[in-house]
């Protein structure tokens, strides 16, 4: 028995200082996971974490030391940047305790959760799903993955994004409302995590619109940097 057409290539992200690739299974994202970002979006307090997803082939891998190119997506005039720490999962698990979560982490990357904010906002008004605003092609630019053995566990560290050399986002991973281990604990109650899963852990305050030609440069301390230009 064969396929009716050739299967598409496996989405994958390079592993830093290695010739290996990390095959992407699913992409999970955490919403409003920095207090100041929650406030700028009109919310306050430590609400229970909530999640949304992007397709695995939304990843746009950017090699270390290079500038990736992202096409400006269709049907939007309000594209926003959201710089995030990304966690790469290497061991399956369900109902993972926060104290055990680090055993499931392969490493970390720097990612952009690009958002068609106008389309997302319209879906919110109508009580409809957000996928049209979050899950479009190339909506998850990502740096090479740094193995946890090299970076150590990331529980704090500067996270930032500049656009055309001007500061836009600046915070610290320690300000996550739900830290990485707690996020894994909550997420694994709803989904059995699998090797190849990526978790975008949330963005700090300062999200704003970008336009074609803009250069986004950001990073997470001890993880790396990511540079993407819109075209």
- Model pLDDT for residues 186-208, shown as the tens digit of each residue: 999 999 999 999 999 999 999 99
pLDDT value of position 155: 97
What's the pLDDT score for residue 21?
Answer: 98
Nearest residue to 27 (alpha-carbon basis) of 119, 107, 139: 139
pLDDT band at 63 (very low <50, low <70, confident <90, very high): very high
| pLDDT digits 0-9 by tens, 23-50 | 999 999 999 898 776 576 666 666 788 9
Look at residue 35 in the predicted model and tell me its pLDDT: 78
CB under 8 A, 24+ apart: contacts of 187-190: 187/28, 187/30, 187/49, 187/51, 188/93, 188/94, 188/95, 188/96, 189/94, 189/95, 190/51
pLDDT reported for residue 3: 97
Strand order in the sheet with 209-210: 115-116, 79-80, 209-210
* Spatial contact of 156 and 173, defined as CB atoms under 8 Å apart: yes
Per-residue model confidence (pLDDT) at position 34: 87
State residue 42's pLDDT score.
Answer: 65
pTM value is 0.96
User: Which pLDDT does position 11 carry in this prediction?
Assistant: 98
Instruction: Output DSSP code: residue 119.
Output: H
Q: What angle do CA 145, 153, 149 make, to 5 degrees?
A: 60
In the prediction, which pLDDT does 126 show?
Answer: 96
Token look-up 């190339």 returns 138
CA distance 2 to 185: 39
What was the pLDDT predicted at 58? 98
Q: Which of 22, 108, 14, 106 is nearest to 64 (CA)?
A: 14
Q: DSSP string of 195-219?
A: TT-EEE----S---EE-TT-EEEEE
Q: Stretch 94-105: mean pLDDT, rounded? A: 98
Q: Is the pLDDT of residue 102 over 70?
A: yes
What was the pLDDT predicted at 70? Answer: 98
β-strand pairing of 215-220 with 83-89: unpaired
Average pLDDT over residues 88-110: 98
**pLDDT at res. 47:** 79
Residue 144 makes CB contacts below 8 A (sequence gap 6+) with: 13, 14, 15, 16, 61, 63, 64, 109, 224
- pLDDT mean across residues, the chain: 95
């Amino acid at each position: 028995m064969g396929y009716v057409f050739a299967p598409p290539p496996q989405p994958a992200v390079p592993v830093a200082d290695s010739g290996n690739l990390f095959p992407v299974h699913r992409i999970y994202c955490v919403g409003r996971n920095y207090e100041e970002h929650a406030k700028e979006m009109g919310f306050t307090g430590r609400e229970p974490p909530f999640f949304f997803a992007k397709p695995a082939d939304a990843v746009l891998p950017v090699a270390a030391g290079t500038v990736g190119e992202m096409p400006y997506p269709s049907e939007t005039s309000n594209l926003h940047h959201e710089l995030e720490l990304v966690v790469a999962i290497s061991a399956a698990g369900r109902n993972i305790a926060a104290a055990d979560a680090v055993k499931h982490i392969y490493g970390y990357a720097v990612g952009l959760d690009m958002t068609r904010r106008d389309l997302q906002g319209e879906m919110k008004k109508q009580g409809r799903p957000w996928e049209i605003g979050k899950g479009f092609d190339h909506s998850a630019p990502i740096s090479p993955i740094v193995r946890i053995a090299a970076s150590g566990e990331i529980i704090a560290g500067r996270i930032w994004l500049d656009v055309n050399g001007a500061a836009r986002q600046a915070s610290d991973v320690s300000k996550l409302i739900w830290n990485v281990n707690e996020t894994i604990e909550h997420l694994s109650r709803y989904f059995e995590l699998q090797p190849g899963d990526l978790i975008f852990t949330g963005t700090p305050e300062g999200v704003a619109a970008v336009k074609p030609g803009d250069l986004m440069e950001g990073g997470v301390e001890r993880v790396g940097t990511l540079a993407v230009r819109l075209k």
